[in-house]
Amino acid sequence: MAIPAKTKASKAPRDGAKSTATKVPQPAGPSTEGETLIAPGGETHQQADGPDTQLTTNQGVPIADNQNSLKAGARGPVLLQDFILREKITHFDHERIPERVVHARGSAVHGFFECLDSCADVTSADFLQRPGERVPVFTRFSTVAGNKGSADLPRDVRGFAVKFYTGQGNFDLVGNNMPVFFIQDAIKFPDLIHAAKQDPDREFPQAATAHDTFWDFISLTPESMHMIMWAMSDRAIPRSLRMMEGFGVHTFRLINAEGISTFVKFHWRPKLGSQSVVWDEAVKINGADPDFHRRDLWEAIEGGDFPEWEFCLQAFTQEQADGFDFDVLDATKLIPEEVIPLRVVGRMVLDRNPDNFFAETEQVAYCAAHVVPGIDFTNDPLLQGRLFSYQDTQLKRLGGPNFHQIPINQPKCPFHNLQRDGHMQMGVPKGQVNYEPSTLGADVARESLERGYHTFPNPEAGEQLRLRPETFADHYTQARLFFASQTKPEQDHIIAALVFELSKCVTPRVREAVLSRLIHIDAFLAQSVAEGLGFTGQIVPAPAPISAKDMDPSPMLSILAKAQPTLDGRKVGVMVSDGCDEALVAKLKAAVEAAGARLQVIAPTIYGVTTAGGELLPADHRIDGGPSVLFDAVAILPSQDGGEQLAMEAAAVNFLRDAYGHLKAIAYLPSAGPLFAAGGITDVGPDDDAGLIALPDASLDAFIAAASAGRVWAREPLVRPPPKPLVVAA
């Protein structure tokens, strides 16, 4: 196997050496060759010399030397008059804006929204009127609790924010990948986030709720228990941003051309289906590739595998709302799809990555108050607080009231008003008039009763009170519904997540207070968590003004109950060695791609392996840089000698051991036997485990079918036995 020769490294000058970059002047007159730079190490490279490539200051002044500060002598002090240095350093010092208080780590993509079904019956919103009509969108996905530099796969809620650039202005649907929230009133949001973020005295843990302050707050805030079921479920560790559902969370209003109001909840359903990872896998992904979600989204779009979601409405009338046994203004509640089915009215396709992360993803300003005619708000007290908070946050982050002039935030329809001046004003408004009404300017922007935004005239009356309505008081019924609607593996994962998180709490009172809430949701749940914690005392139920009621399970609340077999958009890893069968690898690649997935090769070196036929098979990953946690299914296809050699490499053994422990489909040749032995996987085979595909006896079609079926949940009790609940008096 031919390995490219390494480039000889140049020697850098020692500290204090008087070596500086010098320029070799070119002949006078125009030159297409530019000038040659001699760097400190002696290397040379050509610099272009044309009007489109001339380096300048921000004022357009051409720069002659971008390598050296202006000094008084070659080794003298730098002069204050060096305006090139000062501009460059000043911009660098200020190139980071304050990160978002929450949702700091995010990825965003351009795309389009296409109307599929006219919604004229329920809304006058222009972008929902004509099937086939498209409007641009910019969609940002994010974690909530972590800072900008945190990893992609903490156990956390994910933000799901879509900016529609419609003909009537921008509509920002700022939601999450979970349909409910922790709190009912926005006045509690600072407390929630302070409790969930790093402890203020020690500034850790990062992007994690497994600490005392969060669970202390939760134990004292029973309205959070429904959201806790979601946050401890597999929804909090999604396989991909492309495989998440999205929700508007709140109840909004739709208003049609006749002024009739309909309540609505907004839903996004991924075309690829929903999928999550398991917790041990999430921990290892964060170590192997902390940019796992960001990279997955970027590569999918660069490869033309454009993510797509259905846009759905859950529309209902005031009369229907009055008949529910919960309050639709309560953001900790959802409407089961069995009660109000989803109506598919559009689709979103994301098809272009940003050109510049800072200019677009970082500076995009979503605001819950950005709505268009035909969409209005309700009195949800959490939503009402967001209508103020988002605008206020953008003023802080982006420097002033003109953040709407940043290109990513600008409407794509004409916009005119009489607002002037302010920090970072980019426009040059003309004319004498900056007020309204006026008789002095014939072309001044004016209001329009016919085309303007109309707020729904909902009659409001009541005393001024700081009071939570009684209809918000049932904190446990829907939490019980969610837990009861999960499959057995999903319930086990919720239990395991609670055990893990509460085990990180050092204060016994906090753990026991949470148990006193969980017992209201489900006795098996609470007792299983107690067993996992080793708590042998009596679980004393906390006071509950309303006892949980039993509801019929909702399979649509479960990822696994509604999952369909698919490999579309997934990744398969194949581990090979020198002497491997290139024909078999090629057949596997064809089968994987035919199923809509991508195949990547993992080898002992990044340059690849030499196959049995003497050909170079390039690698996508070296074994220790391409662990099985990065793939949805794996194949292990070494040569006979290669299998024995791989069995002596810890990374290769862990590749197989993790794939097995994370319940993935595994295709393998007999030559992989030493790896199985080294990994301790010796008591099971294809007859015992549907996810183990022995080649060449089985077909590649069998492997594709097993991989498409998802994880082998029947294997989980063998690798992660769930805790057995104690019999504890409630």
CA 365-369-371 angle, to 5 degrees, is 100
Lowest mean pLDDT among 50-59, 85-94, 518-527, 693-702: 50-59
Give residue-wise pLDDT tens across range 166-208.
Answer: 999 999 999 999 999 999 999 999 999 999 999 999 999 999 9
662 is catalytic: no
Query: In this structure, are residues 211 and 343 in contact, taking their beta carbons and an 8 Å threshold?
Result: no
CA proximity to 47, closest of 16, 15, 25: 25
Query: In this structure, are residues 549 and 481 in contact, taking their beta carbons and an 8 Å threshold?
Result: no
DSSP secondary structure string for all residues of 405-425 = GSGGGS-SS---------TT-
Looking at the DSSP bridge assignments, the partners of residue 253 are 263, 376
Give residue-wise pLDDT tens across range 350-371.
Answer: 999 999 999 999 999 999 999 9
Give residue-wise pLDDT tens across range 490-511.
Answer: 999 999 999 999 999 999 999 9
CA proximity to 180, closest of 332, 386, 340, 384: 332
pLDDT at 17 over 80: no
Question: Half-sphere exposure of 182 toward its Cβ, with a 13 Å CA cutoff?
Answer: 23
**Length, in residues, of the chain:** 730
Lowest mean pLDDT among 60-69, 160-169, 374-383: 60-69
Query: In this structure, are residues 703 and 665 in contact, taking their beta carbons and an 8 Å threshold?
Result: yes
Give residue-wise pLDDT tens across range 249-308.
Answer: 999 999 999 999 999 999 999 999 999 999 999 999 999 999 999 999 999 999 999 999
Helix (H, G, I), strand (E, B) or coil at 593: helix
Taking the model in full, what pTM does it have?
0.89
94 is catalytic: no
Average confidence score pLDDT of the chain = 90
How large is the average pLDDT for residues 520-538? 96
Q: Of 45, 68, 91, 103, which one is the catalytic site residue?
A: 103
Looking at the DSSP bridge assignments, the partners of residue 265 are 314
pLDDT at 5 over 80: no
CA proximity to 175, closest of 162, 188, 190, 192: 162
| H/E stretch holding 349 | strand 343-352
Domains in the chain, start-ordered, CATH in brackets?
Answer: 106-409 (2.40.180.10), 476-557 (1.20.1370.20), 571-709 (3.40.50.880)
Q: Of 170, 176, 409, 654, which one is the catalytic site residue?
A: 176
CA proximity to 278, closest of 628, 565, 521: 628
Looking at the DSSP bridge assignments, the partners of residue 56 are 62
Helix (H, G, I), strand (E, B) or coil at 521: helix
Lowest mean pLDDT among 11-15, 210-214, 281-285: 11-15
